[in-house]
Amino acid sequence: MDNPSLVCNGILVISGGILLVYTLLIIWSPPPIITHESEKKYRSHSSTKPLPLTRLDEPSKVDLTVVVPAYNETERLPSMMADTIGHLSSLKTKRTFEILVVDDGSNDGTSSTALKLAAKYPKYDIKVVTLEKNIGKGGAVRHGMLYGGGERLLMADADGASRMEDLELLWKSMDEIAPNHGPAVVVGSRAHLVKSEAVVKRSFLRNVLMYGLHTVLRIVGVGHIRDTQCGFKLFSRSAAQQIFPAQHLPTWIFDVELLLLAKQLRIPVSEVPIEWHEVAGSKLNVVTASLQMLRDLLIVRANHLLGRWTASPAKMKSD
């Protein structure tokens, strides 16, 4: 076989390999997240019929939206709600707020529990959205952000593992890096707790997952954030308007995609140490989550590098 034939065969093999990888990327990439009409409305204690939610591209209606993704959280949600209401209602400098519980297709009556809590705290604006099917924590957070009315939007886990009082640390940091309603993200961080009893007592598999994740994160481009997975993050409305419409991952590793998008959009991100404690009742399967994590991180990075997933600065403005 002559040299030209070898070169042609080599080109064919390389081209075939690239085509195979690209095809697999398309197959493995998650489909677009569909929002159903019923999910654009909320229920509350004060209305017998569903009411329309505030869209993210509309002007803000309150100072703060607390987005609570909830999947089978009938047991843990009441305590988290009590802590949230207790803190926000006790602030000397009052701020208007709403709490948006996004029921991610639960089968344990989470929406009913949330509505009972709304009735228990009638003075406060607690909204309940029920997704038609379970799509994952990332999808639930995305939905809450796309339909939150706050000038600032906080994602907070339903387990109450993070102290709501630490919101003030995030708030102060955002005031510093994003004056005048500029785009910014502030990440609650547990990195300072790595040697603490709270983390040491976690299962061996969970700690292996944590250290493995940090290694992979350095590879995909967000190694500058020490704790990407803490479920306590504050977004300015102008940052959320740019980030969440471009989010694709509905799975639990979605936080990394959000931070990659912020980096791509040159939105400032700060990391603030907060208190945290382990809460029983996690739905996370460590082994399955580890495999899914690796796959999803590679998918995100590949889609961004190839330009299939992109984000552009939004033209929308909050009031």
Q: Tell me the domain boundaries of the chain.
A: 36-306
Q: Return the pLDDT at 284.
A: 62
pTM for this prediction: 0.87
- Both tokens of 247, joined, read 């989010």
Q: Return the pLDDT at 181.
A: 86
Starting at the edge strand found earlier in the chain, the sheet holding 232-236 runs 47-52, 41-44, 125-130, 97-103, 62-70, 150-156, 232-236, 185-189, 269-273
Q: Return the pLDDT at 319.
A: 42
pLDDT > 70 in the chain, percent: 83
| Averaged pLDDT of the chain | 87
pLDDT > 90 in the chain, percent: 58
* Range ranked top by mean pLDDT from 33-37, 199-203, 211-215, 304-308: 33-37
Q: Return the pLDDT at 304.
A: 87
CA–CA dist 249, 303 (Å, integer): 11
133-160, pLDDT tens digit by residue? 999 999 999 999 999 999 999 999 999 8
- Both tokens of 318, joined, read 């909050």
Q: Picking from 71-75, 133-137, 231-235, 301-305, which range would have the lowest pLDDT averaged per residue?
A: 301-305
Q: Mutual orientation of helices 110-120 and 77-88 as an angle, nearest 10°?
A: 30
Let me know: does 87 contact 165? Beta carbons within 8 Å. Answer: yes
173-207, pLDDT tens digit by residue? 999 998 888 999 999 988 766 555 555 455 555 66
CA–CA dist 216, 86 (Å, integer): 38
The answer regarding whether domain 36-306 maps to CATH 3.90.1150.10 reads no
